[in-house]
């Protein structure tokens, strides 16, 4: 029988990965997040610094991107960054969202990674890339996948958009830091270098 702690971690992994994917795919709106953080002065002509004293976290983001703590798809959502829309034909902005989940016990990176991959596999979601990644100076992991296409009534009236999602995470003590990048397939590679710079800029004070 699977230990209770592992079963709880598996459920938590599903709750972190899948709602983010589905929320982007169907545009769901949930209760606004209450965490407040303000951007500080610019570190360059193109990037600003997001500073969240509550979580002792800093990261850079493009000056023309929108920062929001509203309508985050999970209870653990902290902040999301959105690319500017180019024109009326631009349906969805690229998004990089940050969530932080706190557990009662320390979380193993390897166990969280294995649990997350197993949860995706159980949902029939194929991961196109899975590799190690350093996040906030800590060993982390990265995956790329495409969420299930949305189903339901009114689908003929809503433009169908194919998106790709890249999720990057690390564990520090009893916290899991998860950054999820999502964009239309046609824009995924375009914004990837910007997102890479944002991910590399993440700092967590312990």
pLDDT of residue 37: 40
Question: Over the stretch 141-161, which tens digit does the pLDDT of each residue have?
Answer: 999 999 876 554 445 555 677
Q: Show Cβ contacts of residue 125 under 8 Å, excluding neighbours closer than 6 positions.
A: 21, 145, 146, 147, 148
Q: Indicate the average pLDDT of the chain.
A: 80
Return d(Cα 180, Cα 167) in angstroms, integer.
4
| Residue range 98-105: mean pLDDT, rounded | 96
How far is 184 from 92, CA to CA, in rounded Å? 7
The pLDDT, as a whole number, for residue 147 is 86
Structural domains in the chain, CATH included, are 4-204 (3.40.1000.10)
Residues 12 and 70: their CA atoms lie apart, in Å, by: 22
Q: What is the pLDDT, as a whole number, of residue 53?
A: 96
DSSP 160-185: ---EEEEEEEEEETTEEEEEEEEEEH
Decide the pairing of beta strands 95-102 and 175-184.
Answer: antiparallel
pLDDT given for residue 7 in this prediction: 32
Q: Express each pLDDT in 19-70 by its tens digit.
A: 444 333 333 322 233 333 444 444 455 999 999 999 999 999 999 999 999 8
SS3 call for 100:
strand
Q: Tens digits of per-residue pLDDT, 81-98?
A: 999 998 988 889 999 999
CB 70, CB 23: distance < 8 Å: no
- Degrees (nearest 5) of the Cα angle 184, 197, 120? 50
């Amino acid at each position: 029988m699977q230990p209770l702690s592992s079963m709880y971690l598996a459920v938590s992994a599903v709750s972190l990965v899948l709602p983010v994917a589905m929320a982007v795919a169907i545009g769901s709106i949930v209760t606004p997040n209450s965490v407040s953080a303000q951007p500080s002065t610019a570190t360059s002509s193109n990037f600003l610094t997001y500073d969240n004293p509550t979580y002792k976290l800093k990261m850079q983001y493009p000056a023309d991107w929108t920062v929001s703590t509203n309508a985050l798809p999970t209870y653990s959502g902290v902040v999301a960054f959105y690319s500017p829309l180019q024109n009326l034909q631009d349906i969805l902005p690229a998004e990089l969202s940050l969530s932080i989940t706190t557990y009662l016990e320390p979380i193993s990176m390897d166990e969280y990674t294995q649990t997350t991959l197993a949860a995706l596999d159980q949902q029939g979601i194929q991961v196109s890339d899975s590799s190690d990644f350093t996040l906030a100076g800590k060993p982390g992991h990265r995956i790329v996948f495409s969420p299930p296409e949305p189903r339901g009534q009114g689908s003929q009236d809503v433009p169908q958009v194919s998106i790709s999602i890249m999720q990057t995470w690390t564990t520090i003590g009893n916290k899991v830091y998860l950054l999820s990048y999502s964009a239309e397939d046609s824009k995924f590679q375009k914004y990837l270098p910007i997102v890479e710079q944002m991910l590399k800029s993440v700092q967590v004070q312990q």
